[in-house]
Amino acid sequence: MRWSVLGVALAVSACAPAMRHFPPQPELTALLEKRVRDRQAIGIAVGVVEADGSTRTAFAGSAGEGARTLGGHSGFEIGSITKTFTGILLAEMVRTGEVRFDDPVSRHLPEGVRVPSRGGQEITLLDLATHHSRLPGMPDNLAPADRSNPLADYTVEQMYAFLARHELSAEPGTAYWYSNIGYGLLGHVLSRAAKMPYEDLVRARILKPLGMRESAINLRGPLRESMTRGHNARGFVVPYWDLPAIPGAGAFRTSLDDAVRFLAANLREPKTGLDRAMRDAQQQRHAVVDTLFNRRGTHGIGLGWQIRSEGGSRIVWKDGGTGGYQTFIGFDPERRVGVVVLSNTAIEVDDIGFHLIDPRIPLESPPPIPVRVSVPEAVLRRYVGEYTVDPEISIGIRMEGGDLYADVTSAAPVRLLAESEASFFIEPFPWSFEFVRNAAGTVDGVVLNAGGTIFRGRRVR
């Protein structure tokens, strides 16, 4: 397949700055072209905001077979970047008195819906917004009819059923644990408090005031026509993801042009109520250490935003991933510069965003693309069991339909694809599993490489 740059756009304010933070346009484009040549992206788009408010956008690769030419209006799934919308909504609704940070979640749910608590502590809206609810990453009652779109048939009733029987492992507010179901619940609660569907609420409170006309959950109108095609890590087209019950966790799609508008709005001086809510959402609420999902070591958490502080720089950021997309948005609020990176391929792009904001943070070497091999079912069955990493993290391995699946604490179930008889990878995330045998030849452990962080599980069953 031939790869080529399909477009480069440049928009600069009339006031020419004396100095630029970001690389010249040819270097910016060359960086993206290399990712495409290295087969780390089918199509990739970057937008930058300079300290003077001027913006630039660059593109490389393709929007995907049958899609329109890649450009500023092309649509991408942004996954968990949606959480920044949800966090801003919370800040705005606290500002207007519609809800309070310390409201128990149960106050905004139908009568009779049980929300788990522990030690007399109820989960609050702020706990949900800062990933301190102690809810797991995903609910344990997912049973998707289509694993390529795993949340499409998950319902609000199933979420309520999960909450009713779930037991928290620790008191809410005591520790950080990244939770998609927690953010989905927060978006649901805010929607109920505002008496408006989540998508309509985001559009009314955030998108419309910021002039973001190419952002939506439901694909309709111009965005439907301009959507790129999502690809897994091996370059195959995969379905879009739908999250009807928990849209606040990661359901939005947007264009690069809209994403740059959102980024610029987060950097400007606050003048409106929405501006002040955006600034409130950026403020650190807790110092955290995220060992499982962020090998870079998150130093703080705001409302939807994560905060990285090291080497004298402070970067407010969020990334997102779905089955066919990886995205990043981040900015340095002191230098007032920021970056958006959107890729229609499920291979991480965070390093590009961090490096462009702070060149001292290196770009990462492209990981090798694993090749799937066939392993006899009898061999696979030897790995089925329970593995304990520590009291907080366990790994369950099970067989389903001739394939191995892993259930890792705080994560959605994942299918294991064999790279060798004992080594497995998953898509779309950069995780690998290596099963370990003892001197007698019995499988007694598993090593999980979660994007560079190593977890060693001891077999207990």
Work out the angle at residue 419's Cα, subtended by the Cα atoms of residues 415 and 403, and round it to the nearest 5 degrees.
30
The whole-model pTM stands at: 0.88
Range with the lowest mean pLDDT among 66-75, 232-241, 330-339, 366-375?
366-375
Closest C-alpha to 326, from 349, 301, 303, 292: 349
Closest C-alpha to 245, from 183, 156, 180: 156
CA distance 380 to 385: 11
- Beta strand ranges found along 137-244 (DSSP E): 215-216
Percent of the chain with pLDDT over 90: 76
> Is 147 buried (19+), middle (13-18) or exposed (0-12) by CB count in 10 A?
middle
- Banded model confidence at residue 84, pLDDT cuts 50, 70, 90: very high
Kindly state whether residues 422 and 305 are assigned to the same domain: no
In-domain check, residue 238: yes
Q: What is the CA radius of gyration of the chain?
A: 22
Kindly state whether residues 211 and 239 are assigned to the same domain: yes
In-domain check, residue 290: yes
Task: Give the contacts of 179 (CB within 8 A, at least 6 positions apart).
Answer: 128, 131, 133, 135, 136, 137, 410
CA distance 21 to 49: 9
Run of H or E residues at 350: helix 350-357
The b-or-e profile of 364-389 (16+ CB within 10 A means b, else e) is: eeeeeebeeeebeeeebeebebebbb
Work out the angle at residue 361's Cα, subtended by the Cα atoms of residues 358 and 364, and round it to the nearest 5 degrees.
130
Mean pLDDT, residues 199-212 taken together: 98
Range of the domain at 332: 77-357
In-domain check, residue 286: yes
- At 103 the pLDDT is 98
pLDDT digits over 308-365, tens only? 987 778 999 999 999 999 999 999 999 999 999 999 999 999 999 999 999 999 998 8
pLDDT at 37 over 80: yes
pLDDT at 5 over 60: no
In-domain check, residue 400: yes
Kindly state whether residues 304 and 426 are assigned to the same domain: no
In-domain check, residue 348: yes
Kindly state whether residues 112 and 232 are assigned to the same domain: yes
Report residue 390: phi and psi, to 5°.
-160, 180
Kindly state whether residues 405 and 327 are assigned to the same domain: no
Kindly state whether residues 381 and 322 are assigned to the same domain: no
**Contact present, 70 and 7 (Cβ < 8 Å):** yes
Kindly state whether residues 314 and 249 are assigned to the same domain: yes
pLDDT digits over 92-132, tens only? 999 999 999 999 999 999 999 999 999 999 999 999 999 99
- Banded model confidence at residue 2, pLDDT cuts 50, 70, 90: very low
Closest C-alpha to 292, from 161, 108, 138, 90: 138
| Total number of domains constituting the chain | 2
Closest C-alpha to 210, from 334, 37, 125, 92: 92
- Banded model confidence at residue 428, pLDDT cuts 50, 70, 90: low
- At 295 the pLDDT is 44
- At 181 the pLDDT is 96
Residue 305's CB is within 10 A of a number of other CB atoms, namely: 26
Give SS3 for 435.
Answer: strand
Work out the angle at residue 387's Cα, subtended by the Cα atoms of residues 386 and 390, and round it to the nearest 5 degrees.
130
- Higher pLDDT: 370 or 415? It is 415
Kindly state whether residues 337 and 403 are assigned to the same domain: no
Length of the chain, in residues: 461
Closest C-alpha to 411, from 179, 241, 188: 179
Question: CATH number for the domain including 391?
Answer: 2.40.128.50
Kindly state whether residues 353 and 381 are assigned to the same domain: no
